[in-house]
């Protein structure tokens, strides 16, 4: 488990991660832990987006796949980003570890990429280093809640 903690204060690093191929800028102030190949146990009868349960610091965490794979992922080992504090933590299947962001200018009016959670993507911002890269804001805990509830994200 690699822990990454963000804080709400000037000069702090903001992190981003790719979820189902979509670059997502994570909100500041979230506690983050990255499981590179975290063991995830199947959860029979769970909604389609739920991959299973992971154990993080002795707490069970529901892991969801915003990319829509859900139960299709072999629930053994996958990259998981755990967000939030113990009792409220949620896990997301991600494409790789979080990265420190260098954000550029806001891109108002930019159309969100087509994905299972496009309705939750807001506030597109250019990457300061890569001209064609756009980071999208989404609150990961809200994304998990919607997917676990079985509704559209």
Per-residue pLDDT tens over the stretch 73-117: 555 678 999 998 877 899 999 999 999 999 999 999 999 999 989
The pLDDT-based confidence of 123 (bands split at 50, 70, 90) is: very high
Average pLDDT, the chain: 85
Q: Is the pLDDT of residue 22 over 70?
A: yes
d(Cα 58, Cα 14) in Å, to the nearest integer?
Answer: 27
pLDDT in tens, 26-84: 998 888 999 988 788 888 888 888 888 998 888 899 999 998 765 555 556 789 999 98
- pLDDT at res. 4: 54
Query: pTM of this prediction?
Result: 0.85
């Amino acid at each position: 488990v690699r822990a990454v903690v963000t804080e709400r204060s000037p000069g702090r690093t903001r992190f981003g991660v790719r979820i189902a191929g979509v670059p997502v800028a994570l909100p500041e102030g979230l506690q983050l832990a990255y499981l590179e190949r975290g063991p995830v146990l199947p959860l029979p009868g769970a909604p389609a987006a739920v991959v299973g349960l992971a154990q993080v610091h002795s707490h069970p965490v529901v892991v969801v796949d915003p990319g829509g794979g859900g139960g299709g992922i072999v629930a053994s080992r996958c990259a998981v980003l755990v967000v939030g504090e113990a009792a409220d933590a949620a896990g997301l299947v991600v494409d790789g570890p979080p990265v420190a962001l260098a954000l550029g200018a806001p891109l108002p009016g930019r159309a969100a990429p087509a994905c299972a959670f496009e309705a939750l993507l807001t506030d597109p911002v250019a990457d300061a280093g890569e001209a064609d890269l756009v980071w999208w804001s989404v609150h990961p805990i809200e994304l998990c809640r919607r997917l676990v509830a079985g509704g559209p994200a």
